[in-house]
Structure 1
Amino acid sequence: MTHYVTFMSQTHNENSRVKIPAVLHLMRLGYDYLSLKNANWDRQTNIFPEIFVDSLCRINPDLPPDDARRLLADIRLELDNEDLGQKFYERLTNQSGGKKLIDFQNFDNNSFHVVTELPCINGDEAFRPDIALLVNGMPLVFIEVKKPNNKGGIGEERERMGKRAKNPKFRRFINITQFMIFSNNMEYDDGATEPAQGAFYASSACGKPVFNYFREEHKLNLTELLDTLSDDLENNVLQDNNLPVIKHSPEFISNKSPDTPTNRILTSLLCRERLSFLLQHGLTYVKASQGLVQKHIMRYPQLFATLAIEKHLANGGKKGVIWHTQGSGKTALAYYNTRYLTHYYAKQGIVPKFYFIVDRLDLLKQAQREFTARDLVVHTIDSREAFAADIKSAQTLHNHAGKAEITVVNIQKFQDDPDVVARNDYDLAIQRVYFLDEVHRSYNPKGSFLANLNQSDVNAVKIGLTGTPLIGVTAGNVNTRELFGDYIHKYYYNASIADGYTLRLIREEIGSRYKAQLQEALAQLEIEKGSFDRKEIYAHPHFVHPMLDYILDDFAKFRKTNQDESLGAMVVCDSAEQARQLFEHFQTASDHNFTAALILHDVGTKEERDQWVKDFKAGKTDILFVYNMLLTGFDAPRLKKLYLGRLIKAHNLLQTLTRVNRTYKSYRYGYVVDFADIEREFDKTNRAYWDELSNEFGRRNRQLQPAIQNRRRNRTGNC
Structure 2
Amino acid sequence: MSLNESVIENVALDWFEGLGYACTNGLLIAPGEVGAERDSFGDVVLVSRLREAIWRLNPAIPEDAREEALRKVLRVGSPSVTQSNRAFHKMLRDGVPVEYSRADGSIAGDHVRLVDFGDVTANDWLAVNQFTVVEGQHNRRPDIVVFLNGLPLGLIELKNAADEDATIWSAYAQLQTYKAEIPSLLHYNAALIVSDGLQARIGSVTANQEWFKVWRTVDDEDGSPVEASKTALELEVLIKGVFARERFLDLLQHFIVFEEDPDSGAVHKIIAGYHQLHAVNAAIEETVRASGMADRNVAREGIGQYWVGRMNDGKPGDRRAGVVWHTQGSGKSFTMLFFAARVIREPAMQNPTLVVLTDRNDLDDQLFGQFQRCHELLGQMPVQASDRADLRDLLAVASGGVVFTTIQKFLPEKGEKMPCLSDRQNIIVIADEAHRSQYDLIDGLARNMRDALPNASFIGFTGTPIEKTDANTRAVFGDYISIYDIQRAVADKATVPIYYESRIAKLSLNAAALPKIDAEFDDITEGEEQNRKEKLKTKWAALEALVGDPKRVALIAQDLVTHFEKRQEAMDGKAMVVCMSRRICVDLYEALIKLRPDWASAKDDDAEQEKGKSCVVKVIMTGSADDGPEWQPHIRNKEKRRKLANRFKDSKDPFRIVIVRDMWLTGFDAPCLTTMYADKPMQGHGLMQAIARVNRVFRDKPGGLVVDYLGLADQLKHALATYTESGGKGDPTYDSAQAIAVMLEKHNVASDMLHGFDWDKWTTGTGAEQLKLIPAAQQHIYEQQDGKPRFVQVVTDLSRAFALCAASDEATEIRDDISFFQAVQSALKKHNPNTQKTPHQIDSAIRQLVSKAITTEGEVIDVFTAAGLKKPDISILSDQFLSEVRGLKYKNVAAELLAKLLKDELNIRTKRNLVQSQLFSEKLKKTLNAYHNRAIATQEVIEELIKLAKEMDAATKRGIDLGLTDDEVAFYDALAENGSAREMLGDAQLKVIAAELITQVRKSVTIDWTLRESARAKIRVLVKRILNKYGYPPDLQDAAVQTVLKQAELICADVETDRI
TM-score relative to the length of structure 1? 0.79
CA gap of 1:583–1:414, structure 2 versus 1, over 3 A, is: farther
**One-letter amino acid of the structure 2 residue matched with residue 14 of structure 1:** E
Of residues 423, 441, 462, the one that matches 2:458 is 462
Indicate how the Cα distance of structure 1 residues 355 and 126 shifts in structure 2: closer, same or farther if over 3 A, else same.
Answer: farther
CA distance in 1 between partners of 2:246 and 2:426 (Å): 26
Instruction: Provide closer, same or farther for how the CA distance between residues 437 and 649 of structure 1 changes in structure 2, counting only shifts above 3 A.
Output: same
Asked if the contact 1:162/1:206 (under 8 Å) is kept, the reply is no
Change (3 A) 1:688 1:363: closer
Shift of 1:84: 3.8
Alignment of 1:5-84 (within 5 A): 9-10=1-2, 12-16=3-7, 18-36=8-26, 37=28, 38=33, 39-42=36-39, 43-62=41-60, 68-80=66-78, 82=80, 83-84=83-84
SS in structure 2 of the partner of residue 377 of structure 1: coil
Question: Contact conserved, 2:216 with 2:274, CA < 8 A, in 1?
Answer: yes
Q: State the match for 2:282 in structure 1.
A: 308
Q: Secondary structure at the match of 1:583?
A: helix
What is the CA distance between 1:668 and its match in structure 2?
1.3
Tell me if the contact between 2:219 and 2:225 (Cα under 8 Å) persists in the aligned partners. Answer: no
Query: 2:475 — aligned with what?
Result: 482
Tell me the CA shift for residue 91 of structure 1. Answer: 1.5
AA at the equivalent of 1:608: N
Change (3 A) 1:590 1:277: closer
Unaligned runs of 5+ in 1: 1-8, 187-197, 226-256, 397-404, 523-531, 695-702
**Structure 1 Cα separation of the partners of residues 733 and 684 of structure 2:** 15
In structure 2, the gaps of 5 or more residues are 98-109, 290-295, 297-315, 511-540, 600-614, 624-630, 649-653, 741-807, 814-1060
Partner of 1:579: 585
Q: CA deviation at 1:478?
A: 5.3
CA distance, structure 2, for counterparts of residue 210 and residue 44 of structure 1: 30
Q: Post-superposition shift, 1:486?
A: 0.9
The change in CA–CA distance for 1:681 and 1:449 in structure 2 (over 3 A counts) is closer
Structure 2 residue identity aligned to 1:309 = A
2:51 counterpart SS class = helix
Paired residue type of 1:465: F
CA distance in 2, matches of 1:500, 1:284: 21
Structure 1: how far apart are the matches of 2:252 and 2:72? 21
Taking the aligned partners of 1:373 and 1:295, their CA distance within structure 2 comes to 12
* 1:192-591 alignment runs, 5 A limit: 198-205=199-206, 210-216=211-217, 219-221=220-222, 259-288=232-261, 289-312=263-286, 313-314=288-289, 315=296, 316=316, 318-319=319-320, 320-345=322-347, 348=348, 350-375=350-375, 376-394=380-398, 396=400, 406-412=402-408, 414-415=410-411, 422=418, 424-426=420-422, 428=424, 431-445=426-440, 446-473=442-469, 479-510=472-503, 518=506, 535-562=544-571, 564=572, 567-590=573-596
Letter in 2 for 1:171: P
Tell me how far 1:439 sits from its aligned partner.
Answer: 1.7
> 1:606–1:342: structure 2 CA closer, same or farther, 3 Å change rule?
farther
Describe the superposition over 1:497-551 as per-residue Cα deviations: whole angstroms up to 9, x where unpaired: 12222211122233xxx96xx47999xxxxxxxxx95543332222221211111
Q: Deviation string for 1:553-585 (max 9, x for gaps)?
A: 2112222333x3xx3222223455433432332
In structure 2, what is the Cα distance between the partners aligned to 1:577 and 1:223?
54
1:683 maps to which residue? 717
Q: Give RMSD over aligned pairs.
A: 3.3
Contact 1:544 1:581 in 2 (8 A): yes
Q: Is the 8 A contact 1:372 1:378 kept in 2?
A: yes
- The structure carrying a bigger helix percent of its residues is 2
Partner letter of residue 340 of structure 1? R
Q: 2:655 aligns with which of 621, 626, 629?
A: 621
Instruction: Please tell me whether the aligned partners of residues 418 and 448 of structure 1 are also in contact (alpha carbons under 8 angstroms).
Output: no
Residues 1:103 and 2:120 are matched in the alignment: no
Contact 2:411/2:445 (8 A) holds in 1: yes
- Considering Cα pairs closer than 8 Å and 6+ residues apart, tell me whether 1 or 2 has the greater RCO: 1
Q: Which residue of the other structure, out of 656, 659, 670, is the alignment partner of 2:704?
A: 670
Distance 1:415 1:658, change over 3 A: farther
* Structure of larger gyration radius: 2
Q: Check whether the contact 2:166–2:196 (CA below 8 A) recurs between aligned residues.
A: no
Q: CA–CA distance in 2 between the matches of 1:277 and 1:541? A: 59
Query: Would the alpha carbon gap of residues 421 and 126 (structure 1) be closer, same or farther in structure 2, given more than 3 Å must change?
Result: farther
Aligned to 1:704: 730
Shift of 1:283: 1.1
- In the alignment, is the contact (CA less than 8 A) between 2:411 and 2:448 conserved in 1? no
8 A contact 2:225–2:278 mirrored in 1: no
Q: What secondary structure is seen at the aligned counterpart in 2 of 1:115?
A: strand
- Is 1:173 the counterpart of 2:185? The answer is yes
Mapped to 1, the partners of 2:548 and 2:117 lie a distance apart of 64
**Deviation of 1:290 (Å):** 1.9
Q: Are residue 144 (structure 1) and residue 157 (structure 2) matched?
A: yes
Pick the aligned partner of 2:670 from 600, 618, 636. Answer: 636
Taking the aligned partners of 2:501 and 2:224, their CA distance within structure 1 comes to: 52
2:174 is aligned to 160
Distance change >3 Å, CA 498–CA 550, structure 1 → 2: same
Structure 1 residues 709, 24: CA separation in 2 closer, same or farther (over 3 Å shift)? same
Aligned mates of 1:421, 1:200 — CA distance in 2: 54
Give, as a single letter, the amino acid of the residue that structure 1 aligns with 2:545: E
> Partners of 1:493 and 1:349 in 2: how far apart?
33
Task: Determine if contact 1:384/1:420 at 8 Å carries over to the other structure.
Answer: no
Go from structure 1 to structure 2 and tell me whether the alpha carbon gap of 1:143 and 1:90 turns closer, same or farther (over 3 Å shift).
Answer: same
Q: 1:261 to 1:499 in 2, by over 3 A?
A: closer
Superposed displacement of residue 406, structure 1: 2.2
Does structure 2 retain, via aligned residues, the 8 Å contact 1:382–1:411?
no
Q: Which moved more, 1:261-270 or 1:41-50?
A: 41-50
Change (3 A) 1:209 1:110: farther
One-letter identity of the residue aligned with 2:174: R
CA offsets per residue over residues 106-125 of structure 1, 9 Å max, x none? 23111111111111210221
Aligned-partner residue type, residue 38 of structure 2: W
Residue 94 of structure 1 corresponds to 94
Does the 8 A contact of 1:434 with 1:463 survive in 2?
A: yes
- The one-letter code matched in structure 2 to 1:579 is C
What one-letter code is carried by the residue in structure 1 that aligns with 2:22? D
| C-alpha distance in structure 2 between counterparts of 1:575 and 1:415, whole Å | 28
Shift of 1:351: 1.4
Alpha-carbon distance in 1 for matches of 2:231, 2:695: 36
Superposition deviation, residue 179 in structure 1: 0.9
Shift in Å, 1:101 = 0.8
State the Cα deviation string for residues 147-194 of structure 1 (Å, max 9, x = none). 3254252111112212332x2x522210111112222232xxxxxxxx
Shift in CA distance, 393/142, structure 1 to aligned 2, threshold 3 Å? same
Contact 1:418–1:449 (CA under 8 A) maintained in structure 2: no
How far apart, in 1, do the equivalents of 2:411 and 2:482 lie? 26
The SS at the match of 1:85 is helix
TM-score w.r.t. the length of structure 2 is 0.55
Alpha-carbon displacement from aligned partner over 1:384-421 (angstroms, at most 9, x marks no partner): 1111111112253xxxxxxxx52211234555768898
Equivalent in the alignment of 1:230: none
